[in-house]
Structure 1
Amino acid sequence: MAWINKMKRWQQFHDLDKELKLELESLLSDEKFLEDAFYKDLEFGTGGMRGVIGVGTNRMNIYTVRKASAGLATYIQSFGKEEKARGVVIAYDSRFKSREFAMEAAKTLATKGIQTYVFDELRPTPELSFAVRLLNAFSGIVITASHNPSEYNGFKVYGSDGGQFPPLAADVLISMVNEIEDELLIEVKDDMSLREKGLIQIIGTEVDQAYIEKLKSISENPDLANQSDIQIVFTPLHGTGYAPLKNGLKALNYRHVHVVSEQAKPDPNFSTVKSPNPEEHAAFELAIRKGMEVQADLLIATDPDADRLGIAVKNHEGEYVVLTGNQTGALLLHYLLTQKQQKGTLPTNGVMLKTIVTSELGRVIASSYDIRTEDVLTGFKFIAEKIKEFEQSGEYSFLFGYEESYGYLIKDFARDKDAIQAALLATEACAYYKLNGMSLYEALMSIFARYGYYQEGQRFLTLKGKEGAEQIEKLLASFRDHPLEMLGEKSIIQSEDYFTSKRLTKGNDWEEIHLPKSNVIKYFLEDGAWICIRPSGTEPKVKFYFSVQSDSLDSSRQSLQMIENQFIDEIQLRLKNISK
């Protein structure tokens, strides 16, 4: 078996890292665990790689980080000396091994003569995106696993525009990473000698200050902070968001900010939450307790690398409700367009960008302001790619980009989702509506009343390891071999397969989908609802997205629950057939 040969190569390597060597020795009796650790190389995909920390070629460790970094070095070298001199900016979050992995990446690149800039302490992902542009670097790396469990870490790669590598560039980079045969033999010099040569430079406050200055431009109404007394509760969920958001709110003069003290400090164990994910309502438990204590108008949570934002607001019963990513996106978009229209700053060629699994409510809102909406595949790198395209062509002016998974971008000085930007705009919107006698919850209800009661949901199946990956592939194949035609009593009137790039109607008429290929299938029902099936690119999951719309909130909620349950029954049936 090939995995045994890989394992023995590591076992026999004379200079194996001591910690990894001890871990390998302790696992020699656990064949199933070893197979999963060595049966493949940790996949380097279009956004980089992410995995469990530990020993093995299918794990995050100093050797897999060196391999990814060496592949990036080869890619940069192919562009010549000037690009080597422009170099790479590296940031890292609060996870286990993040700083160590950041320095391994820096040493690998610098050993090959590539200039590197490493942040002195942990920083959020959007600030890394900003720093790449600020320093005119060729590329960027951030060591993070976003909101994954504590045993994970990752390696994300950015291009010179501050966005994650688009598919064509990523494919070239992936091939260069995969060409490296032995990750154990990659040469890495010590960091002190590389610092003395100037190949590794430490950066910090100068970038922070420039980022804060740009954050000030988010405000549509800078005087609102002085006119409003809104109370804000903020939790960084043990991650990188504490300093940048506190400083951003201070720069805009919001004074009543209450931080959840138990979650303020970085903690790689994320010890106060089951999952450090603002999409999970349980992550707001301590923030809600603090909110009730100070009677907060707005609760804010950022994930560990501060690219995702969750908010909670009080409903009519005085209870805090955690909004979905689609709902927060609708609120931010509506506020932004309303203010720009009132001030006469709304461009005639404005465009809003969203992903194919994001609510159609955003499109309806944008259309009411004569703003175009463009759909992209799931992943903020595709939004960044469109921003760059429109920046170069001048065809459209970017106004807002978002995805249902709590990612938003207001100003394109960063080219990845930015929870700090979004939190500042959410705070301002809250202040605006309060001065006008409304809560953010009431503002959302008014949007529903005007545009329709859209409700979205998401379910997922976690299928870990080699067997799980095979099951996910077979599940998607089953929908291609035996397409869904009915769900309950409702007909499927259209399907979209982003792998074959075909949109098929019930009459078997088809048209081409002009987006990159992706292993995603979407079904549209006769009542306007839709369902989407998508394997996660970063976790061992297959995700199911649902959207409905009707003339009342209760009706939409009932429809959503019904469609979710019916589809999960379909999934269970297909999984049972697959396993036979």
Structure 2
Amino acid sequence: MIESEREDAFYKQLEFGTGGMRGELGAGPNHMNIYTIRKVTAGLAKYIEENGTEAKKRGVVIAYDSRHGSAEFALEAAKTLGAHGIKSYVFQELRPMPELSFAVRYLRAYAGIMITASHNPSEYNGYKVYGEDGAQLPPAAADVIVTHMNEIENELLLEIKDERELLSQNLVSYIGENLDQVYLDYVKGLQLNKDVANLHIVYTPLHGTGQTLMPQALQNAGFQHITIVNEQKNPDPNFSTLSSPNPEEAQAFQLAIQYGKEKAADLLLATDPDADRLGVAVKNNSGEYVLLTGNQMGALLLHYMLSQKQEKGVLPDNSVIFKTIVTSELGRAIAEDYGVQTVDTLTGFKYIAEKIEEYKRKGTKTFQFGYEESYGYLIGDFVRDKDAVQAAMMIAEEAAYYKQQEMTLYDGLIELYETYGYYKESFTSFTLKGKDGAEQIDRIMNRFREHPPAGIGGAAVEKIEDYQSGKRINLSTTQQEMMDLPTSNVIKFRPQDGSWFAIRPSGTEPKMKFYFGVKQGEEDLSEERLREVEVSVMNVVKNSIS
């Protein structure tokens, strides 16, 4: 190991962020290995112990994806929990993340663990912690776990129990197919229209967990023409047919598009390794397959569900949808048209889950839909995280609905733009690894906070929303107001022409993330304005790190 690699491996321990803990596999506390797994699980165990004997009995559900070390890490977590007398329900084989969230709620467990690095490259793995509501832990609970982790002097000496001993003491139970059927029944219950048999679908699980549930979920809903991309059907921790198992990227659809052309498919679906994100490709007006963005997918799903529920007379007057602060404003415009309130949350689906639980507890609002621009959607709240299985069934149902009218999903999207305006969004990020990278990320955020740009692409900045201070500042009036959201290291700028951009460091990767959004009356004008905003912002970034 060269000196720079040694420093990167040992200069800090992996941290919890918006999606738990995630990092490259390897030695040292800054990498994913059995000792970091034991350490974070010991911190979780202490957290559970503090909540009493009943919490320990209710136990923890553990699931894992197809990555290197995932099955081993899942067992290490169970063995560490067992050393504290805490029961584990471990999935016998790999399963999608949404089923883990469902299982925590259905089994009334006190917590859940998902071993996954979502859509990251093959050298990564990760560890997500879920609370008793089936949602990722909120910051306050995660902070308690981190405190207990910091109290551990040497993770190499942590106690674990033998698997056979835990099985004999009923501190480990293996679960699987019985729970699958219950979850799939809940998914089927979301259907709005059942005349779907004529739709032709190509699906790829991208070597991940989706293959375990997705085909059955679609079949249960009545879809009869489903083709699986054979080369990407089986689990493969190297993701050998892909440069990255990310359904947001066009390369992930290369094989699916080949299959689509051969089968004359109406709809192409792809899920990431833990099957919480869904990518979709449809035919455009030229008959070529194009990928929908997460914002476009969210708008299509939202409009379809609200219009169908209103038509059937089952859309409650107190309906609400949730979206993140970096998600398109098109969803708000659609929801308003149907008399539905839109509530913004911070980035990270756990914040949407928090709002679902809050409104359900109060009984003041009825949840209809939650989504984020990064291909995450939730329809039925029996899961409390993004769920690609639910979303795939519903977008396929919508595609079948349009096909009956001799339209495609692409046609439906153009109708939305013509009705509500051409909302266009984009996203970019760059990776800054190691200690130097972390310092660069801090410099970029400080630059935008301390010397905010007065204008972007020719339009004066009107408002700045700093989610770390919680303040919204109107630059034209100098008025300040507090925002009703938790604090987070995010800054959002709103120029006078209705465009916006936001910047934030990733909570789980060494990345800076940039989000852009505009609205114009014509598509060409919208695309042009989007490029202006992007170039203007990135010039500021280049100057801040040069």
Does structure 1 retain, via aligned residues, the 8 Å contact 2:67–2:237?
A: yes
Q: What is the Cα deviation at residue 558 of structure 1?
A: 1.5
Q: What is the Cα deviation at residue 243 of structure 1?
A: 2.2
Q: What is the Cα deviation at residue 176 of structure 1?
A: 1.8
Cα distance in 1, alignment partners of residues 184 and 149 from structure 2:
35
Alignment of 1:458-537 (within 5 A): 458-506=427-475, 507-537=477-507
Deviates more, 1:173-182 or 1:523-532: 173-182
Asked if 1:219 is matched to 2:200, the reply is no
Q: Which of 379, 399, 412 pairs up with 2:381?
A: 412
Match of 1:23 in 2: none
Cα distance in 1, alignment partners of residues 342 and 355 from structure 2:
12
Asked if 1:329 is matched to 2:301, the reply is no
Does structure 1 retain, via aligned residues, the 8 Å contact 2:503–2:515?
A: yes
Does structure 1 retain, via aligned residues, the 8 Å contact 2:62–2:112?
A: yes
Letter in 1 for 2:499: A
Residues 397-441 of structure 1: CA distance to partner in whole angstroms, max 9, x if unpaired? 100000000000000010000000000000000000100121000
Match of 2:105 in 1: 133
Match of 1:24 in 2: none
Deviates more, 1:92-101 or 1:290-299: 290-299
Asked if 1:242 is matched to 2:211, the reply is yes
Cα distance in 2, alignment partners of residues 509 and 393 from structure 1:
32
Q: Which of 139, 145, 150 pairs up with 1:178?
A: 150
Match of 1:571 in 2: 541
Q: What is the Cα deviation at residue 185 of structure 1?
A: 0.9
Equivalent position SS for 2:189: helix
Q: What is the Cα deviation at residue 281 of structure 1?
A: 1.2
Does structure 2 retain, via aligned residues, the 8 Å contact 1:46–1:170?
A: no
Does structure 2 retain, via aligned residues, the 8 Å contact 1:502–1:510?
A: yes
Deviates more, 1:170-179 or 1:396-405: 170-179
Does structure 2 retain, via aligned residues, the 8 Å contact 1:235–1:287?
A: yes
Match of 2:331 in 1: 362
Equivalent position SS for 1:51: strand
Does structure 2 retain, via aligned residues, the 8 Å contact 1:72–1:173?
A: yes
Cα distance in 2, alignment partners of residues 432 and 372 from structure 1:
26
Match of 2:53 in 1: 81
Match of 1:90 in 2: 62
Does structure 2 retain, via aligned residues, the 8 Å contact 1:44–1:177?
A: no
Cα distance in 2, alignment partners of residues 177 and 136 from structure 1:
25
Cα distance in 2, alignment partners of residues 39 and 547 from structure 1:
37
Q: 1:546 to 1:39 in 2, by over 3 A?
A: same
Match of 1:41 in 2: 13
Residues 362-383 of structure 1: CA distance to partner in whole angstroms, max 9, x if unpaired? 0000000000000000000000
Alignment of 1:433-448 (within 5 A): 433-448=402-417
Residues 46-86 of structure 1: CA distance to partner in whole angstroms, max 9, x if unpaired? 54211111110111000000000001000001111111000
Q: Which of 344, 361, 379 pairs up with 1:392?
A: 361
Does structure 2 retain, via aligned residues, the 8 Å contact 1:116–1:201?
A: yes
Equivalent position SS for 1:500: coil
Match of 1:69 in 2: 41
Does structure 2 retain, via aligned residues, the 8 Å contact 1:44–1:68?
A: no
Match of 1:9 in 2: none
Cα distance in 2, alignment partners of residues 290 and 561 from structure 1:
33
Asked if 1:318 is matched to 2:287, the reply is yes
The runs of at least 4 consecutive aligned structure 1 residues that moved more than 4 Å come to: none
Equivalent position SS for 2:503: strand
Equivalent position SS for 1:189: coil
Cα distance in 2, alignment partners of residues 50 and 411 from structure 1:
27
Q: What is the Cα deviation at residue 173 of structure 1?
A: 2.2
Does structure 2 retain, via aligned residues, the 8 Å contact 1:457–1:546?
A: yes
Cα distance in 1, alignment partners of residues 451 and 350 from structure 2:
32
Q: Which of 2, 17, 31 pairs up with 2:3?
A: 31
Letter in 1 for 2:338: Y
Equivalent position SS for 1:156: strand
Does structure 1 retain, via aligned residues, the 8 Å contact 2:208–2:275?
A: yes
Asked if 1:425 is matched to 2:394, the reply is yes
Q: What is the Cα deviation at residue 538 of structure 1?
A: 1.3
Q: What is the Cα deviation at residue 487 of structure 1?
A: 1.7
Q: Which of 272, 276, 291 pairs up with 1:303?
A: 272
Cα distance in 2, alignment partners of residues 525 and 555 from structure 1:
16
Cα distance in 2, alignment partners of residues 543 and 263 from structure 1:
29
Asked if 1:206 is matched to 2:183, the reply is no
Q: 1:488 to 1:455 in 2, by over 3 A?
A: closer
Letter in 1 for 2:545: L
Cα distance in 1, alignment partners of residues 430 and 222 from structure 2:
44
Equivalent position SS for 2:222: coil
Q: What is the Cα deviation at residue 168 of structure 1?
A: 2.0
Q: What is the Cα deviation at residue 356 of structure 1?
A: 0.2
Letter in 2 for 1:554: D
Letter in 1 for 2:516: F
Does structure 1 retain, via aligned residues, the 8 Å contact 2:92–2:175?
A: yes
Letter in 2 for 1:289: Q
Letter in 2 for 1:205: E
Per the normalisation by structure 1, the TM-score is: 0.93
The structure, 1 or 2, with the larger RCO (C-alpha pairs under 8 Å, 6+ apart) is 2
Match of 2:521 in 1: 551
Letter in 2 for 1:568: M
Deviates more, 1:401-410 or 1:236-245: 236-245
Letter in 2 for 1:269: N
Letter in 2 for 1:177: M
Equivalent position SS for 1:150: coil
Q: What is the Cα deviation at residue 570 of structure 1?
A: 1.6
Q: Which of 341, 347, 359 pairs up with 1:372?
A: 341
Does structure 2 retain, via aligned residues, the 8 Å contact 1:93–1:144?
A: yes
Does structure 2 retain, via aligned residues, the 8 Å contact 1:528–1:549?
A: yes
Cα distance in 2, alignment partners of residues 210 and 40 from structure 1:
42
Match of 1:17 in 2: none
Cα distance in 1, alignment partners of residues 507 and 500 from structure 2:
21
Letter in 1 for 2:79: K
Residues 109-150 of structure 1: CA distance to partner in whole angstroms, max 9, x if unpaired? 011100100000000000000000110000000000000110
Match of 1:540 in 2: 510
Identical aligned pairs, as a percentage? 57
Gaps of 5+ in 2: none
Cα distance in 2, alignment partners of residues 553 and 488 from structure 1:
18
Equivalent position SS for 2:484: coil
- Cα-Cα RMSD: 0.9
Equivalent position SS for 1:307: coil
Q: Which of 101, 113, 116 pairs up with 2:85?
A: 113
Does structure 1 retain, via aligned residues, the 8 Å contact 2:17–2:508?
A: no
